[in-house]
Amino acid sequence: MFDLTIIGHLTIDKIVRKGAEPVFMPGGSATYASLAAKRMGADVLVASKVGPDFPDEYVSWLSRGGIDLAGLRRVNTPTTYFILKYDDEKRLLQLKNVCEPISSKDIPANLKTRGIHIGSVAGEVTVETVRRLTELAEIVSLDPQGFVRIFDEKGYVKIGKRLEVGILGRIDVLKASEEEIKEAVGVENVWKAMEVAAELAPRIVIVTKGIEGAFMLFDQNRYEVPACKPSLIVDPTGAGDAFIGAFMAEYVRKKDPLWCAAVGSAVASFVIETVGPSFSGSKEDVLKRAQKVYRRIRRV
């Protein structure tokens, strides 16, 4: 029995920061969310697809990090590959390759898991797969980014698609950025967009806002979750994914959602202190920061 199973493409990320040499890293929501959940002591399985170009050293590194990769399949299609260009606080995201979709047939037949997080990055998780996944766990969370992104002829990413009707019908937790939640439901006011999404099923709707923290809606109550201040800001890649990974690691253990959000904020703060998913901070360090965040959460 796994605590959390994460579905979505593991990616190859080329991170380009102003004044620094480009670096290649394993990436994708599946990478950041799984490592964050593991940092909180969860038993984590990743179900994904990569191509022959996905380095063996990435697989070994994730395995050494305690991630179970029994659900990872190598296929002939090249791995999903992004270039992430950072110039000051702006990010330009470009998709260079996309691997094969993850279908319901790719989910382990004997999967036993308390929770599932669907972390699509480029439309690789089909609606059919989402429906199948909601039958396999008591708690299912969704990041809609891979469903609302569109890509131009050069692969540059924009948010420009509505979330398909019915996809939220059996989702328990929705985590999105401000831009994603507005586009997903076609509503410009962020709180109204969260309420519209909640009407479709999710008990908890979270909108991450980078260094400004997060909004959270559950049981018809609105909350502001403050950002946890990092010791320094190096690379914001994957902070939102780490937030939901840590959140779910606590939530599947029946913890208070406000506490889960505080833990998510704390883990995200460690992620942005380093480049890529190699974030520092022990579970005890995370809990210390989370306590400070928890005390500052307020109802609005």
Which range is least confidently modeled, 137-141, 181-185, 232-236, 274-278? Answer: 232-236
Res. 89: pLDDT tops 70: no
**DSSP for 38-64?**
HHTT--EEEEEEE-TTS-HHHHHHHHH
Look up the pTM and report it.
0.96
CA 199 – CA 195 distance, rounded (Å): 6
Q: From 287, 279, 172, 261, select the one nearest 209 (Cα to Cα).
A: 261
Number of domain units in the chain = 1
CA 183 – CA 177 distance, rounded (Å): 10
Which range is least confidently modeled, 17-21, 119-123, 134-138, 206-210? Answer: 17-21
Angle at which helices 178-185 and 190-199 cross, to 10°: 50
- What pLDDT score was predicted for residue 201? 92
CA 9 – CA 91 distance, rounded (Å): 20
Give the model's confidence band at 113: pLDDT under 50 very low, under 70 low, under 90 confident, else very high. very high
pLDDT tens figures, 91-108: 899 999 999 999 989 998
Angle at which helices 56-64 and 29-39 cross, to 10°: 20
Tell me which residue range forms the domain holding 70. Answer: 2-299
pLDDT tens figures, 218-275: 999 999 999 998 888 777 889 999 999 999 999 999 999 999 999 999 999 999 888 8
CA 45 – CA 70 distance, rounded (Å): 7
Q: From 269, 268, 263, 300, select the one nearest 284 (Cα to Cα).
A: 263
**246: CATH:** 3.40.1190.20
Torsion angle, CA of 150/152/156/162, rounded to 10 degrees? -10
Give the residue ranges of DSSP H helices in the chain.
29-39, 56-64, 127-133, 145-148, 178-185, 190-199, 239-251, 257-271, 283-296
Give the model's confidence band at 204: pLDDT under 50 very low, under 70 low, under 90 confident, else very high. very high
CA 200 – CA 196 distance, rounded (Å): 7
pLDDT tens figures, 26-64: 999 999 999 999 999 999 999 999 999 999 999 999 999
Res. 88: pLDDT tops 80: no
Task: Report the chain's mean pLDDT, rounded to a whole number.
Answer: 94
CA 185 – CA 147 distance, rounded (Å): 12
Angle at which helices 257-271 and 283-296 cross, to 10°: 120
Give the model's confidence band at 199: pLDDT under 50 very low, under 70 low, under 90 confident, else very high. very high
- What pLDDT score was predicted for residue 91? 85
Mean predicted confidence (pLDDT) in 204-229 = 94
Which range is least confidently modeled, 162-166, 180-184, 296-300? Answer: 162-166
